[in-house]
Amino acid sequence: MILALTIAILVAGSTYLIQQRGMVRIVFGMSLLGHAANLTLLAGGVGAWRGEPFPDRTALADAADPLPQAFVLTAIVIAMATTTILLTLAALGHDDDTVVPEPADDTIATDPVQTLGRAA
């Protein structure tokens, strides 16, 4: 029950952050969503308490399935790379998207190159 509540809180927080305008908040929201997906994979892979996934240390019937853990480890690496790329894009695109740019000069184009061959 606690794990399901944790996943729900992570999904709710990530949904809120993704809907914000700031790029860094969107990146944090995507990161939280990745954590929620990882917890969902781990929760689906383990029904009850299991032993270590090493057959020489525990009985085979009590050993945990290592496949969900491998999926989560791969997902963590991919999420880290994605977060790095998104944070780089957020840093490079430092212009605020809420600023309305001033319109350019509204003179009528007379050069055929500017009008793409159409009559001005």
| Confidence tier at 22 by pLDDT (50, 70, 90) | confident
* pLDDT tens readout for residues 60-90: 777 777 788 889 999 999 999 999 998 998 8
- This prediction has a pTM of 0.66
Which residues have CB under 8 Å from 83's CB, separation 6+?
Answer: 27, 30, 31, 34
Residue spans of alpha helices (H) in the chain: 2-18, 23-45, 66-92
pLDDT at 109 over 60: no
2-49+59-92 fold: Helix Hairpins (1.10.287)
User: What are the residues facing 63 on neighbouring strands?
Assistant: 51
- Quick: pLDDT tens for 32-46: 999 999 999 888 877
C-alpha dihedral sign at 46, 47, 51, 53: negative
Selection from 24, 26, 31, 27 nearest residue 10 by Cα: 31
Domain extent listing, the chain: 2-49+59-92
Is 20 in contact with 26 (CB distance < 8 Å)? yes
